[in-house]
Structure 1
């Protein structure tokens, strides 16, 4: 990971559109005041909020199969089999 470019607060005030366009384009910047770093401008990670039915079906086709008996055995082996009250001590 390389060093982030620095901008001073004067640049931030005088070139806000250019700077915000750079951040929106994926650029991270360190903001300085009097030559000292005081903050960072970093792009937000974009999340997919919706997966189409076709996309979900395509992902499901390539998913590994599940052996339900083995899955249940794994759950039983790791589950707490004691039914005692944890506050009853």
Structure 2
């Protein structure tokens, strides 16, 4: 027996709204065809959009130091200096 509830391959077509709501809430399913598992629609991990000021400060304390000269050299080596230059085609 599988850990996730099993649905048939026709269920997403016939009960799509119900299934999407359940997936959004964090539940995943095993999709079966002829009694054999063929796939698992799973919820995507939600990413936070913002980091609090305290979290940013804590992360910054442990971040490695940046050498400005090396950083600038890396930018100059990879950046296109004249992105709109019509002669550079």
TM-score w.r.t. structure 1 length? 0.57
Cα deviation digits, residues 32-60 of structure 1 (max 9, x gap): 11111000010000011222xxx22x236
Measured in 2, the distance between the counterparts of 1:62 and 1:50 equals: 15
| Number of positions where the alignment pairs a residue of Structure 1 with one of Structure 2 | 63
1:59 maps to: 55
Map Cα deviations across residues 52-76 of structure 1 (whole Å, 9 max, x no partner): xxx22x236767x77xxxxxxxxxx
Partner Cα separation in structure 1 for residue 49 and residue 16 of structure 2: 29
Gaps of 5+ in 1: 67-89
Other-structure match for 1:8: 8
Query: Which consecutive aligned stretches of 4+ in structure 1 deviate over 2 angstroms post-superposition?
Result: 58-63
TM-score, normalised to structure 2, is: 0.57
Q: Distance in 1 between matches of 2:50 and 2:35?
A: 43
